[in-house]
Structure 1
């Protein structure tokens, strides 16, 4: 399986290096082992087929909407990369179970709190499921901002290379103090996670999360 994955990843690295100029050095700042939750924004289809081949890390897993498996190509790639499905709009207990299992094994789980593609690159409000995962697993989180490739298809049509920009932040953990989170507290903590991502991006991409430099973090603390 690793030989097949290595060959596919090598091929995809070559394919996407033609239309895209990718911040490979920044991506490689992501640790090779966990437990760790990668929290990043989701613009379009490009994240997985760019990030997973460049990192080529068997410890990296991910979550994607269950509808993606209807596409034969994504079905093949996601299964090979260890990405598993989540049914949006419900409490998907099987997806949560697999998520905890990944982190308990000391692996890395890539999650998009937005839960859907923004398409224009502007941050959408995050969904609070990420807080339940972080609270139960107690795994540290690492913010990763993606931007610059919202016009990929238009650039491709006009034979222009696309800048696939990446910025990796500093790890942090959720402050739990052994208490359960109310619905409001879960959303507030989710918003703080999203502000961590916004702080890594140019202002024009902040979308729902304006002025991240002014945020007072009450639910998160940085790892020194």
Structure 2
């Protein structure tokens, strides 16, 4: 078994001990081909559970640069070949690395909120994923997590934390060859975020609580066209 395999086996075992992981819908995620996973970001549990439970398929995540300030976390995410990204700026090195991952037919995980919510309530998405989706042409698949926000309360009571994963419908962004304006990027981002919100129970939808405001003008759904 490889080092990454040992790490994933260990992390999976630990997280399934402290959490009740409902990962049934992960079977809907394709086994190969380029794919952008976009999901909400609750707390420190999201990435380890997703990355370890999707094995043997490798998932490369965009992870905040500051994570590598912690040697243990840095080693862990380096083992997963995660891409460090500097938040709040146009990090072109991270963009190029992410594009390379998709061109190699791998899966890339992005948290469009840009930071943890802590509460599980969905925050406003950032538009940085839009140029990457357009440039790569890769399909986008929304995923959502809920339950992890109660981890610390549960662990103090020696209770396992329910951790539920939901998987949505794959789509691509419609693109006519003309670079989208800032307003168009904002609308594309909102449409992607509403797809995440629709997977969450109403109490978690936050900034995207009113699904009646959701549009799909820039989304081209791909049911049946992704290989499982």
TM-score by length of 1: 0.96
Task: Map residues 28-43 of structure 1 onto 2, 5 A cutoff.
Answer: 28-43=27-42
Q: Equivalents in 1 of 2:130, 2:91: separation in Å?
A: 15
Local SS of the residue matching 1:85: strand
Alpha-carbon RMSD across the aligned residues, in angstroms, is 1.2
1:84 is aligned to 83
Shift of 1:213: 4.9
Give the conservation status (yes or no) of the 8 Å contact 2:36–2:140. yes
Give the conservation status (yes or no) of the 8 Å contact 1:63–1:110. yes
Q: Equivalents in 1 of 2:41, 2:31: separation in Å?
A: 21
Local SS of the residue matching 2:2: helix
Say whether 1:26 aligns with 2:28: no
Q: Equivalents in 2 of 1:176, 1:195: separation in Å?
A: 19
Unaligned runs of 5+ in 2: 224-228
Q: Equivalents in 1 of 2:75, 2:208: separation in Å?
A: 35
Give the conservation status (yes or no) of the 8 Å contact 1:145–1:168. yes
1:109 is aligned to 108
Task: Map residues 1-224 of structure 1 onto 2, 5 A cutoff.
Answer: 3-224=2-223
| Between 121-130 and 7-16, the greater mean CA deviation after superposition | 7-16
Q: Equivalents in 2 of 1:120, 1:178: separation in Å?
A: 39
Local SS of the residue matching 2:206: coil
1:123-160 Cα shifts (integer Å, max 9, x gaps) = 11100011111111111100001111101111101111
Kindly report structure 1 stretches of 4+ aligned residues shifted beyond 6 Å.
none
Local SS of the residue matching 2:28: coil
Give the conservation status (yes or no) of the 8 Å contact 1:58–1:81. no
1:17-61 Cα shifts (integer Å, max 9, x gaps) = 111000122223322222110000101011111111111235311
Shift of 1:4: 1.1
TM-score by length of 2: 0.94
Local SS of the residue matching 2:148: coil
Local SS of the residue matching 1:151: helix
Aligned pair count?
223
Unaligned runs of 5+ in 1: none
| Between 192-201 and 204-213, the greater mean CA deviation after superposition | 204-213
